[in-house]
Amino acid sequence: MVDFSLVKEAAAILESAVNVAVLTGAGVSAESGVPTFRASEGLWEGHRVEDVATPTGFQRDPELVWRFYNERRQNLRSVVPNPGHVALAKLEEKLGDNFTLITQNIDGLHQKAGSKNVLEIHGSIRKTLCTHCGLIAHAPIEMDLGDLPRCLDCSHLLRPKIVWFHEMLPIDIWETAQFAASEATAFLVVGTSAVVFPAASLIPIAKMTRSPGARIIEINLAATEVSSMCDISILGPSGVVLPLILKELGIEV
C-alpha cells in the first residue's frame, strides 16, 4: 500500500519547486518487463558484469558482448513504456525548461514515453560507437546489427554506445546533469539502488551544493543506500506512485 500522505507531500514540494531534476534507474523500467541489475546475485541475465560490461571484457570476447546486447535489443522490441515513464514525460510538459530528466537507463523508454530532454549518463543501447574512428550512429532496436557489427565509415569494429565499468561518463552530459542537480530545488530519485558512482553522487550534489539545497524525494520498492539522505521516501512501484503524484498536481496519466 502506498502512503498517500507522502504522495501529497511530494506533490506539494513539486508544486512549489522552481527547478525539478529527476534521477532514474532500472526500477523505472521494471514494470515494463526490463530486468533490473542487482536482482540476481551480481549476474546480469546469467553473465558476470566483468564479461559483458567492461572494456577488457569486450577486448577479450567482443562476440559474447555483442550477443549479450543483441539479446537485450531484441527483448526491447516488444517492450513499451509504463505509466511511470509517461508521468515523467507529462511532468516535463508541465515544467518545460525548469525540468531535467537524468537517467542511468540505456533502454530509451523515457523517450518512447514522450520525454524530450533526456540526459542518458550511461549511454544508449540504441546507439553504436566505432572503436576506431569514434563515429556515433543511431541503431534503432528494430535493426539487426549482426554478430560483430562494423563501422559504415571505416569498417572497424563497433561497440554499443554504453558506459561500461572503469569508463568515464560522457563529460558534456555529466556536467549538464551535475548542473541540473545543483540548481534543483526538488530532486526525485526513482527506481535506483543508488550504489553506482558517479551517478549516485548527484543526490548529495542536489542536497549540498547550494543552501538550503533541494528537497529530495525517493520512490522505490525498498529502502536504499540514500534513503536516509532523502526528505521523503515513498515505498511503492514507480508506475503507480508517479501517476498518483501527478494526479495531485492535476495531471492525469
Binds ligand OAD (CB under 6 A): choice among 2, 12, 31, 213 = 31
**Does residue number 185 form part of the binding site for ligand OAD (CB under 6 A)?**
no
Output the smallest distance, CB 237 to ligand OAD, in A.
4
Which cell goes with 212?
A: 538550503
Interface positions, 208-227, toward ligand OAD (CB under 6 A)? 219-222, 224
d(CA 223, CA 231): 13
Stretch that binds ligand OAD, among 36-44, 66-74, 179-187, 203-211 (CB under 6 A): 36-44
| 131 and 157 Cβ atoms separated by less than 8 Å | yes
DSSP 8-state class, residue 157: B
**Does residue number 237 form part of the binding site for ligand OAD (CB under 6 A)?**
yes
Report the half-sphere exposure of 125 (CA within 13 A, side-chain side).
Answer: 25
Report the half-sphere exposure of 47 (CA within 13 A, side-chain side).
Answer: 18
| 241 and 6 Cβ atoms separated by less than 8 Å | no
Q: Which is nearer to ligand OAD, 81 or 191 (CB)?
A: 191
| 206 and 222 Cβ atoms separated by less than 8 Å | no
Output the smallest distance, CB 189 to ligand OAD, in A.
10
Where would I find the H helices in 165-251?
171-183, 202-208, 238-248
Stretch that binds ligand OAD, among 19-27, 62-70, 149-157, 202-210 (CB under 6 A): 19-27
**Does residue number 115 form part of the binding site for ligand OAD (CB under 6 A)?**
no
Binds ligand OAD (CB under 6 A): choice among 20, 109, 163, 246 = 163
Q: Which is nearer to ligand OAD, 70 or 185 (CB)?
A: 70
Binds ligand OAD (CB under 6 A): choice among 72, 90, 110, 122 = 122
Secondary element (H or E) of residue 81: none
DSSP 8-state class, residue 96: G
Residues found near ligand OAD in the complex (CB under 6 A): 25-27, 30-31, 36-38, 53, 104, 122, 163, 191-193, 196, 219-222, 224, 237-239
